[in-house]
């Protein structure tokens, strides 16, 4: 799996959009970008994934640059319950995901 | 709710003992994964099974073993437990092993070795 780089921590005001960046400059052509989050000590929660095109679901939007070297996860209207560790993962291995240190997102009232 | 069920939620045992953690995957999912999360190591992949067969191994100790049964549930066996084995153990499942198939995680078993 490609090495990803994320900021250690970010803050966001409640109700505003949270934009979480991820650098994956060594990503290969068939490598998907996955985002997960972990709230407190719960199990990691799947958010979204994509290959080349931008993706949107009920939780978030994923914007992948044209050269695929970076991506941004967007939570359109952050709430206090979105406070969590967010993991960006570049996946090439058929099967497992390799988690890094992630970004601690804190949403403030 | 991810649909992945792990039991027990908490387990407290003594050094040298053996424990079994159980995982029921989401309905229809054939692949099961085990991860360990300790305070200083982050989420570490242990092992993966697909339809009863071992598919990939990660940083799994020889004292640990796993299996996936015909009904697709999985068990992780930890033996000769040490203090350092205290951690959260997560199970995940996916429909297959394709790159665009997400893993869905359970809420884990918290193991405390005293």
**Could you report the per-residue pLDDT of A28-54, keeping only the tens digit for each?**
888 899 999 999 889 999 999 999 989
Q: Is the predicted pLDDT of residue A64 greater than 90, yes or no?
A: yes
Structure-block tokens of residue A78: 């952050």
CA distance A32 to chain B (A): 7
- At A1, is the pLDDT very low, low, confident or very high (cuts 50, 70, 90)? low
Task: Name which of B29, B36, B103, B111 to mutate to probe chain A: the one with the most chain A Cβ atoms within 10 A of its Cβ.
Answer: B103
> Rounded to whole angstroms, how far apart are CA atoms A59 and A82?
10
User: CA torsion A26→A31→A66→A21, rounded to 10°?
Assistant: -70
pLDDT in tens, B75-104: 999 999 999 999 999 999 999 888 889 999
Q: Do A45 and B56 touch (CB under 8 A)?
A: no
Dist. CA B108–CA B8, nearest whole Å: 8
**Beta-carbon separation of B102 and A34 below 8 A:** yes
Interval B30-65: pLDDT, tens: 999 999 999 877 899 999 999 999 999 998 999 999
Instruction: With beta carbons under 8 A apart, name residues in chain B contacting A43.
Output: 2, 4, 90, 92, 105-108
CB within 8 Å: A95 and B55: yes
């Amino acid at each position: 799996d490609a090495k990803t780089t994320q900021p250690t921590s970010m803050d966001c005001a409640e109700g505003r959009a949270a934009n979480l960046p991820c650098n994956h400059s060594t990503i290969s052509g068939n490598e998907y970008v996955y985002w997960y989050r972990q709230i407190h000590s719960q199990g990691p929660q799947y958010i979204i994934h994509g290959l080349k095109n931008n993706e949107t679901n009920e939780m978030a939007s994923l914007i992948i640059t044209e050269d695929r070297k970076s991506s941004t996860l967007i939570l359109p209207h952050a709430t206090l319950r979105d406070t969590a560790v967010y993991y960006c993962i570049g996946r090439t291995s058929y099967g497992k995901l390799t988690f890094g240190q992630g970004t601690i997102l804190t949403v403030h009232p | 709710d991810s649909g992945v069920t792990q039991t027990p939620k908490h387990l407290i045992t003594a050094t040298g003992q053996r424990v079994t953690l159980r995982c029921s995957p989401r309905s229809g999912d054939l692949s099961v994964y085990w991860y360990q999360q300790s305070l200083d190591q982050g989420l570490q992949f242990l092992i993966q099974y697909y339809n009863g067969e071992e598919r990939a191994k990660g940083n799994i100790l020889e004292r640990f073993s796993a299996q996936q049964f015909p009904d697709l549930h999985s068990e992780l066996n930890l033996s000769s437990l040490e203090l350092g084995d205290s951690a959260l153990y997560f199970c995940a499942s996916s429909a297959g092993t394709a790159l665009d198939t997400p893993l869905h995680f359970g809420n884990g078993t918290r193991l405390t070795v005293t």
